[in-house]
Each structure stands twice: as C-alpha cells, then as structure tokens.
Amino acid sequence: MAIFQNQLVMKAVFFVVVFVVAAIIQRVATKAIERVLTVANVPSGSIFVNIARALVWFLALLAVLEPVFGIQPTAFVAALGVGSIALSFGLQNTIANVFSGLGLMLAHVIEPGDWIEVGSYQGMVTDITWRSTTIRSLVGDVIVIPNSVLNTTTLRKMSPISARSVTIPLDIHPEADMAEVERDIREAVTRAVTEWRDPEQDIALIEQGYGSFGFRLDVRVPLRTMDDSLAARSAIVRACSGRSWLARW
C-alpha cells in the first residue's frame, strides 16, 4: 500500500513539474517569437503565438503519458493520426482558416493596423488569430471574419488617404447639367466640411455611370483624421439634401 501511495505521489510530482516547466517554456517562447517577428518584420498576429503555445502543451502531454498514465506516446500519436483523418472531414473549415491566416500574415497581405474593406465591411485590422481576423469599424463595431473568407473574397487594402476619406454616393437627375451639378457639389461640400477636410487633398467626384434612379456620382472627401468620418458624413448629407438635381436621397 505504501509503495502504491509513493508511486502516486511521484507521478503527481512529475506531472506538476512537467506542466510548470511547460508553462515557463511557453512564456519564454511567446516573448522570443514576438521579438523574432518584430526583427523579421512579420506582423505579430496572435496566430503564431497560439500555434507555439499549442505545440508546447502537446509536447508536455506526450512527456507525461507513459510515466503518469502508462500510455505509450507512439501509440497515442498513432491513434491521434487515425482520429485526425476522421476529424479532418469535420474540421475542413477550421483547417482552411488556419492555413489562410498563415498565408495572409507571412505574405504581408494584411497586418494589425491596416484598414481593409471586405464586402460590405470596412475597418481596421486589430488581430489575426488561427481562425479569424478581427476588424474594428469607425463606429466601434467589432467584426470577426473567417480567414478563409479573406482568401476567397475580394479584399481591399486601403491607403492612409483612402482610409481617412468619407465617400457619399449621389443619384443625379438625368436631365441635370453635370458641369453645374459638380460645381454646386464642390462649393456646398467644401463649406460643410471645412472643419474636418484635409486641405492638402482635393475633393474627388467619381462618375459611376447610370443607375436605376439616374447618374451615379460618388463624392469622396479626404479628412484630417479618421475620427472625423461620422461628423463629416453627416455634414455632407445635410449640404447635399434638397438640391434640385438630386434624383433621390
């Protein structure tokens, strides 16, 4: 009985020691990876840190299998391999997200701090994990996009000027004089956004062709900072509303 108790104590001690060492290695490895990523100019998204953590804890589990639980590591890995084949069919999306995230980071497609547009979503990249990319919109909404979606959907990486610009689409009446309309828009918008507009950049009027309600024209105004977007957007809408050349609002 005493021998059995001593064996249990030794196993418990070994188990605790292994996992304490694993916790220390994980912390050291995490900091080392962050330093290496910084030196190598690779975006320090949490995907790399998470993979390193998973590897450390997996090795710690293998280390305690035989001494503590009496399970051969080779048999465990073999069983895990067989099980992984079955699991892979149910985890296809997760696997696709992992590889997509690694590709996005290593190829410098996007990184934390970038402003991107994916479909109808627009915001600043705050993190890239093993499964998804998180962006924060101008109004503070947190949007989580699966990494595989970013690899299969048109992704627009915005320049600094484009990121801090506000764009308002207008439908112009087909019979309106476009030269007069453009002159009126520039004057009205310039007065409305003087407080927020970047004085070194011009207001752009981008022709988008004819739509269901008339001629489509985008008004793009570069701003000093992205924080001014909501206020500037509201001012532009008020400045253009009620104009005779509008086909609809």
- Quick: pLDDT tens for 189-240: 999 999 999 988 889 998 888 877 778 889 999 999 888 888 999 999 999 9
Q: Is the pLDDT of residue 45 over 60?
A: no
Burial of 33 (0-12, 13-18, 19+ CB in 10 A): middle
- Looking at residue 234, its pLDDT comes to 92
Tokens representing 196? 């927020």
Taking the C-alpha atoms of residue 29 and residue 238, their distance in angstroms, rounded to an integer, is 55
User: For position 84, what pLDDT does the model report?
Assistant: 56
- Write the CB contacts of 215 (distance below 8 Å, at least 6 apart in sequence): 171, 172, 173, 174, 176, 178, 207, 209, 247
Residue 219: the pLDDT is 93
Show the DSSP H helices in the chain as ranges: 2-39, 46-64, 73-90, 92-106, 147-152, 160-163, 178-192, 229-240
pLDDT tens per residue across span 130-172: 778 899 987 788 999 988 888 788 888 888 888 888 899 999 9
Contact, 103 vs 151, CB < 8 A? yes
Cα 168–chain centre separation = 24
pLDDT per residue as tens digits for the range 92-127: 666 677 777 777 766 777 888 888 988 888 888 998
The single-letter code of the amino acid at 121 is Y
Full-model pTM: 0.53
Q: What pLDDT, on the 0 to 100 scale, is given for residue 238? A: 92
Residue 121's H or E segment, with its range, is strand 121-128
